[in-house]
């Protein structure tokens, strides 16, 4: 009884942890991209793509990976 | 899309994700799963694409090109009070849009065409500007292509019926096939001429 109740809880904790991490990565990426859009400079494009884009991609990949690898 | 609209959509996306980050348990329900997929995948990808398009359009602006120190003289050359200076004559007479003057004649520059090699050149420019030593004076990687001139002048009466252009039938064919350069064949060869900027008069636009 205890073991069957613990499994979905563990699963939810795993997903929640991953969702939080991927969400934070995406939010930070969006903030960097937002700041780069306000700054009119050649380096802002590098920041947009090199930093914002990277964080955004990392967050999205982590989210998709969480969906695919969540324990059933 | 205007920057304000992209920033608004970006903020909405961040709020969506903020809800999921603070309350991940909502993703247990079907509606929550859809919300999470929208906020964590669809919207960020869409916002990223809009942001890229915004940066791309902005990089066409004259002010963007002139924000690198090495380009200052080229910006200054647009105000030379001498009609034989081709970029100045085009800029001052609105033959090119003033806010996209550089891009209009240099459409093959780094970001816009030319594949990976051109993009790497763009990154090299940033490296040279901030960490290295830019070549002085700067040079085009390839000779200026007549295509950039013909983009506007092809078909115009002044070009098609010009005395020199039609002096013999081969001249026009060579211009159109880029065998005879508009800018370096001795015809329209006063371009930015930045080495002479200390010895010329400047046009002051009316306020």
User: Quick one: B54 and B67 in the same domain?
Assistant: no
CB atoms within 10 A of CB B175: 23
Q: Give chain A's domain count.
A: 1
Phi, psi of B188 (to 5 degrees): -120, 60
Termini Cα distance of chain B: 30
**Exposure on the CB side of residue A38, measured as CA atoms within 13 A:** 8
Best probe of the B interface among A37, A54, A55, A56, by most B CBs < 10 A, is A37
Q: Which of B203, B148, B206 is nearest to B181 (CA)?
A: B148
Best probe of the B interface among A42, A44, A46, A59, by most B CBs < 10 A, is A42
- Quote the minimal CA–CA distance from A41 to chain B in Å: 6
**Between chains, do B126 and A46 touch, taking CB under 8 Å as contact?**
yes
Confidence at residue A2, expressed as pLDDT on a 0 to 100 scale? 46
Best probe of the A interface among B6, B8, B14, by most A CBs < 10 A, is B14
Confidence at residue A3, expressed as pLDDT on a 0 to 100 scale? 47
| ipTM score assigned to the predicted complex | 0.85
Among the three residues B16, B41, B58, which one is the final residue of a domain in this structure? B58
Two tokens, residue B149: 């001139």
User: Quick one: B132 and B81 in the same domain?
Assistant: yes
> Rounded to the nearest 5 degrees, what angle is found at the Cα of B183, between the Cα atoms of B96 and B193?
80
Q: Which of B136, B201, B20 is nearest to A27 (CA)?
A: B20
Q: How far is CA A54 from CA A30, A61, B112, in A?
A: 10, 10, 22
User: Quick one: B115 and B189 in the same domain?
Assistant: yes
In a domain, A22, yes or no: no
Beta carbons within 8 Å of A38's beta carbon, 6+ residues apart? B3, B7
In a domain, A36, yes or no: yes
Confidence at residue A69, expressed as pLDDT on a 0 to 100 scale? 83
Beta carbons within 8 Å of A26's beta carbon, 6+ residues apart? A55, A56, A59, A60, A63, B17, B40, B44
For A32-59, the pLDDT digits (tens) are 999 999 988 888 988 999 999 999 999 9
Among the partner-chain residues A20, A33, A46, the one whose CB lies closest to the CB of B48 is: A33
pLDDT band at B114 (very low <50, low <70, confident <90, very high): low
- Quote the minimal CA–CA distance from A6 to chain B in Å: 16
> Which range is least confidently modeled, A46-60, B37-51, B61-75, B97-111?
B97-111
Q: Give chain B's domain count.
A: 2
Among the three residues B58, B76, B99, which one is the final residue of a domain in this structure? B58
DSSP 8-state code for residue B203: -
Confidence at residue B198, expressed as pLDDT on a 0 to 100 scale? 93
Q: Is the pLDDT of residue B181 over 90?
A: yes
Q: Is B132 an interface residue toward A (CB < 8 Å)? A: no
H or E, element range at A64: helix A53-69
**Between chains, do A49 and B64 touch, taking CB under 8 Å as contact?**
no
Full domain range(s) for residue B78: 62-144+183-199
Among the three residues B40, B58, B76, which one is the final residue of a domain in this structure? B58
Full domain range(s) for residue A71: 29-72
Q: Is B62 an interface residue toward A (CB < 8 Å)? A: no
Task: Characterise B135 by phi-psi region: left (phi > 0), alpha (psi -120 to 50), beta (else).
Answer: beta
Radius of gyration of chain B (CA): 24
Q: Is the pLDDT of residue A18 over 60?
A: yes
Name the residue of chain A whose CA is nearest to B42's CA.
Answer: A60
Rounded Cα distance between B205 and A55, Å, is 45
């Amino acid at each position: 009884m205890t073991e069957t109740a613990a499994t979905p809880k563990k699963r939810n904790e795993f997903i929640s942890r991953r969702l939080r991490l991927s969400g934070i990565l995406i939010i930070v990426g969006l903030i960097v991209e937002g700041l780069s859009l306000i700054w009119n400079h050649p380096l802002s494009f590098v920041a947009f793509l090199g930093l914002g884009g990277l964080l955004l991609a990392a967050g999205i990949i982590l989210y998709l990976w969480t969906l695919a690898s969540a324990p059933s | 899309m205007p920057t304000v609209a992209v920033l608004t959509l970006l903020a909405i996306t961040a709020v969506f994700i903020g809800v999921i980050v603070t309350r991940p348990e909502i993703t247990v329900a079907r509606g929550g799963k859809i919300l999470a997929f929208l906020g964590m995948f669809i919207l960020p990808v869409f916002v990223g694409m809009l942001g890229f398009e915004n940066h791309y359009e902005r990089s066409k602006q004259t002010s963007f090109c002139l924000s690198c120190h090495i380009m200052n003289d080229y910006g200054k050359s647009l105000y030379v009070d001498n009609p034989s200076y081709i970029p100045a004559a085009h800029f001052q007479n609105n033959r090119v849009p003033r806010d996209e003057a550089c891009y209009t004649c240099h459409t093959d520059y780094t970001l816009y065409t030319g594949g990976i090699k051109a993009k790497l050149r763009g990154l090299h420019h940033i490296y040279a500007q901030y960490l290295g030593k830019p070549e002085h004076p700067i040079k085009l990687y390839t000779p200026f292509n007549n295509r950039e001139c013909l983009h506007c002048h092809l078909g115009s009466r002044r070009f098609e019926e010009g005395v020199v252009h039609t002096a013999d039938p081969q001249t026009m064919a060579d211009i159109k096939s880029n065998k005879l350069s508009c800018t370096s064949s001795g015809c329209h060869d006063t371009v930015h001429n930045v080495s002479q900027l200390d010895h010329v008069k400047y046009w002051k636009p009316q306020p």
